[in-house]
Each structure stands twice: as structure tokens, then as C-alpha cells.
Structure 1
Amino acid sequence: MLAAKPKGAPTETIPKKVFLNKGQAKLSGGASSNNMKNHGGPVMQGTINVYLIWYGNWGTNTAPNVIIPFLSGLKDTAWWAITTTYYQGTTQLKYAGNPVYKNSTNVLNTYGTSLSNANIQQIVSDSITSGVFPSDTNGVYFVLTSAEVTASSGFCTSYCGWHNHGTIGGKDIKYSFVGNPDRCINSCAAQTTSPNGNAGADGMANIIAHELTETVTDPDLNG
């Protein structure tokens, strides 16, 4: 007899990933060739709340001191303003909202050091159903893993991070996995010389920014 699925457990879909091979996305013209085209999928609007789940043994790692200030200032950058340049026909529609860092929590290796996609979904679900974080349909929940933790579906060999969405507690929740590039510094970090004295954290900030803008502009993975 099959065990019943726990109430509020997430429904798994195929995540979109940051692949190891580096490339530049092409801009497609709307009203201007300098702007991006809306392909009809939903885009997150308003304030985008960002929640961080630090999974594993982070110890004295300075990554929070790099990533939290980075996220706190992201909305004021010209780079983030790119997300407001979507066009539909000849009318500019400023869809994407601004990200706001909300809170963090630490989780020990509850599900071991080799996480499946289902484990990652469950870590997000646990943080919501336990009341640590609110159930926020306009939020993005990041599972950030320490260097001893991998993701069995291909972290370091096929991708550096990904974003997804699933049903948790009856709501559509957006979330992302980002591993620590210290595990594979030459694959998932742009450089080993770190401006913040922590190459892994700098690499994670880069991947987080990528996954955040992808989630906001393609939350249902159909854009």
C-alpha cells in the first residue's frame, strides 16, 4: 500500500537551471530593440519578498555578510531595472516588482548532504508549515547549501542553481536552489579572486541574482 502524501507537501515540477556553460541571453525587440519582449506568461509584481534558508553547516562562513547586504541593495541597481523593460506590442508594461530581503533561517543537515529535488521542495515546505516563514505567494524562498552539501540531480556537473514552483499548503510557492561554489569553484564561480574575501559567497550572489530575476519574470516556468 502506498503511503499518503503529507498534507501541504509540495507538488514537484521540472526546475529551470543555471547551466555550467556560460552564454548571453538575446534581447528580443518590442517597441524598441533595446527592450525585452513579453511572451505572455505571468510576471511577479509589487514587492517580491526574499527568504533565505541556510542549509547545512555554515559555521563561521561569512556568506550571510555578503549575500544579505547584496540582496538588500539589489532593487536600487540599474541591473535590476532591466526587469522593468518588458514590452507588449508598443506599450511598455513595467511588470516586475522590487525584491526585498525579509528573513533567514538556519537548517542543519536534516535530509543529509545529498539532496534530491523533492528534498529541496520539502525543506521549503518545512520552513512554511512550521511557521518560521509565512506562506507568501509573492515571495521567493532560496535554499542555500553549504560546501559539504550537494544536489543529486546535478549540482556542479550540470548546473549551479535552479528555480521552480510548487503547491505548498494549497498555495503556489516559488523557490530556488543555489549551492555553494566552494564545492566546485571553477565551475560555478566567475573568478576565484574574491572582492569580499569569500569566492564561494560571491559566486552564490551571482547565481542568486540570476535565479531571482528569472523567477520574477517567469514564475511558472512557461515564459
Structure 2
Amino acid sequence: MASLTTILFTLFVTISTLDLSSARKLAESAEPQLRFQYHKGPLLTGKISVNLIWYGNFKASQKAIIADLITSLSSSKPITAQPSVATWFKATQKYYKATSPKPALTLTLGTQILDEKYSFGKSVTSDQILKLASKGPQRNAINVVLTSDDVAVEGFCSSRCGTHGSSVGARVNGKRYRFAYIWVGNSESQCPGQCAWPFHQPIYGPQSAPLVAPNNDVGLDGMVINVASLLAGTVTNPFGNGYFQGPKEAPLEAGSACAGVYGKGAYPGYAGNLLVDPTTGASYNAHGVNGRKYLLPALVDPKTSSCSTLV
């Protein structure tokens, strides 16, 4: 039986009736109460390979954006430009204090599997997402299913932008291993206002001009945000009994609890104070390998119970 956690697209629905000045005052006057509880379950540790399963039509340049993101998480070559993707990911180590005095987790880019012939068609169910995830290696792995913008996935846009969960895989040398998996869809042609904000105007809440995407691809830069958020949730709550707030069926996790926050001073409709590329005008907050720039979500700091940003 697979367990699931989803990233909802409704980042600002609950306060969509607020005007911009009211939203700003609310953000400045009230610190969100993010009391995360550790539910005594395991967190991911050791050397974990992140395997990418590409479903549908992706350009080579699009695949490189995600592959470079994964490589940037634990790059063997230190990135001199700061803040970096690796610095962002190191924030998850704070969650390991209650489970291990010396947390050791390394994520590396593993296998990439292509399904360009749409083996399940262009309308995919949650069960089929799990079947796709099962195509990747299942021991010490996070298998990430990425669907192209012409693929309709069950619940996509209507209630979620992505999912993470876990399942027991096939036998390997007589043993079954529980593996973690993630699914994220490309929303560019279906619901960019829901799943690719702030690179597209939102369909709810305060309306402001969209930011320029750092990799010049609204759909893929939106996927970067959702993949990053779900990776943080996966390593700190891989099997549904790690760190989260709220009901187990709809938990807030390390990344999803800070939805819409990317820099200091963020409030509904405003992503925060970000770095801006002087040449392209793109907004970002993290440097990656191969000169990449990314916009990554804030993560909950378990020590302060607040959203911690890179900039």
C-alpha cells in the first residue's frame, strides 16, 4: 500500500479575500505557528540516489534543468557563488537532531529513464504514477516521476501540483525494500497560475506581475519549486511518520508549510526579496552547478518553528 503526501496548489486561497495592504500587515504582524512534531518514524539516511523517470515529451534542455538541480544538492565540487542549492538542502539536517547525533544523508543523481511513448497514455492515474515510479531502482532510492505538459494526471491542477509517497518494491536478493517516490507535473499549458507561481500570475489572491523564470522556462522552473519542496518533505517524512504538522492524511511538511515564501519579507502575492540577474532580469535565490540559478522554497526551521529563507 502506498502512502501519499501532496503539494496543493491553493497557496493563498484562504486569504484570497484580503487586499494587498492587509496581506502585508498580516505577514508583518503575525509569525505563523509551525509547531512540527516528530512522530518517531525513520528519516532517510545514507547515500540515496535520486532517479528521474521522464514521462512524455521533454526537451534535452528541460531535462538538464532538473538533473542539474539534483546534482547541486550534494555536489562534490563546492559552488563558490552563494547562496547555493547545497546550502538550502543542508537546512534539512536540523531535523535529524532528534534521530541521530550525526545525521548523514547524501543525495546523488542516479538513473534517468525515458518513457517518451506515453506507455499509459496521456491521462494517468495515481496508481499508474506508482507503477512508473516502480520502474526505477528501489533500494536506497527516491524515484521522481516527471510528467510533461501534455499529460493529465489524476488530481493535477484541481487539487495538487505534485505528490510524494512510499511503497514496497519487488524483491531484491530475496528482500523487499520500501522506496520513496515523488511525482511532479509540468503545469505550463494546464495551470501555471496554480503550480508555477510566481512565474505566472496566480488565479487566486493578490495579482502582481509574474517574475522572470531563472531558466527561462515557466513550466520547468515551476517544477523545480515543487520538486525541491517534495524532496525536503520526502527526506524528513519519507514514510508518513517523520516530521509533519496537522493530520497525517494532509500534513504540512518542511517545504509545503512555507508555500509561497521564497525570500525575506514575503507575504501573499509577493515572493519576498530575491536576487535578480542583471542581464536577464530573472529572480532567484540559489546557485547551482553549471552556472544554474534556481528559485527554491523556504523551509521550516524546526528550532524556531518559522520559515527560513536563503535570502
Q: Which category describes the TM-score, using the shorter chain as reference length?
A: 0.7 to 0.9
Match of 1:194 among 203, 206, 213: 213
Tell me the equivalent position of 2:9.
20
The higher relative CO (CA closer than 8 Å, separation ≥ 6) is in 1
Partner of 1:173: 179
1:68 match: 67
CA distance in 2, matches of 1:38, 1:93: 15
Structure-2 change in CA distance of 1:96 and 1:204 (3 Å): farther
The 8 Å contact of residues 184 and 226 in structure 2, kept in 1 or not, is answered as yes
Larger displacement relative to structure 2 (45-54 or 73-82): 73-82
CA gap 1:123/1:157 in 2 versus in 1, 3 angstroms: same
- Alpha-carbon spacing, 1:55–1:115, altered in 2? closer, same or farther (3 Å): same
Cα deviation code 1:47-73 (max 9, x no counterpart):
221000000122x36311211111111
Identity of aligned residues (%): 31
Q: Does 1:184 align with 2:173?
A: no
Report what 2:90 is aligned to: 81
**Distance in structure 2 (CA, Å) of the matches to 1:15 and 1:209:** 17
- Runs of 4+ with deviation above 6 angstroms: none
**d(CA) in 2 for partners of 1:97 and 1:110?**
34
Matched ranges for 1:6-155 at <5 A: 12-22=1-11, 27-28=34-35, 38-58=38-58, 60=59, 62-75=61-74, 77-86=86-95, 87-88=97-98, 93-95=101-103, 97-107=105-115, 108-125=117-134, 127-128=135-136, 134-136=137-139, 138-152=140-154, 154-155=155-156
User: So what's the TM-score if we normalise by structure 1?
Assistant: 0.79
- Report the CA distance shift for 1:209/1:94 in structure 2 as closer, same or farther (over 3 A): farther
Q: Secondary structure at the match of 2:179?
A: strand
Rounded to whole Å, the distance in 2 between the matches of 1:219 and 1:25 is 24
How far off its partner does 1:219 sit?
1.0
Q: Which residue of 2 aligns with 1:5?
A: none
1:217, 1:96 → 2: CA distance?
Answer: 13
Note the C-alpha offset of 1:103: 2.2
Which range moved further: 14-23 or 167-176?
14-23
Deviation at 1:38, TM superposition (A): 3.6
The answer to whether the 8 A contact 2:3-2:239 is kept is no
Match of 1:209 among 207, 228, 235: 228
What is the CA distance between 1:20 and its match in structure 2? 1.0
* Alpha carbons 1:163, 1:215 under 8 Å: kept: yes
Give the Å deviation of 1:121: 1.0
Q: Distance in 2 between matches of 1:79 and 1:195?
A: 17
8 Å CA contact 2:39, 2:241 repeated in 1: no
Please state whether the residue corresponding to 2:150 is helix, strand or coil: coil
Greater Rg over alpha carbons, structure: 2
Query: Is the alpha carbon distance of 1:203 and 1:56 closer, same or farther for their aligned partners in structure 2, counting shifts above 3 Å?
Result: same
Q: What is the root-mean-square deviation in Å for CA atoms of aligned residues?
A: 2.3
Return the offset for 1:77: 2.1
Shift in Å at residue 94 of structure 1?
4.5
2:138, 2:178 within 8 Å by CA — same for their partners in 1? no
The aligned amino acid for 1:187 is Q
CA–CA distance in 2 between the matches of 1:53 and 1:146? Answer: 11
Structure 2 unpaired stretches of 5+: 13-30, 75-84, 171-175, 201-211, 243-311
Please tell me whether the aligned partners of residues 55 and 147 of structure 2 are also in contact (alpha carbons under 8 angstroms). Answer: yes
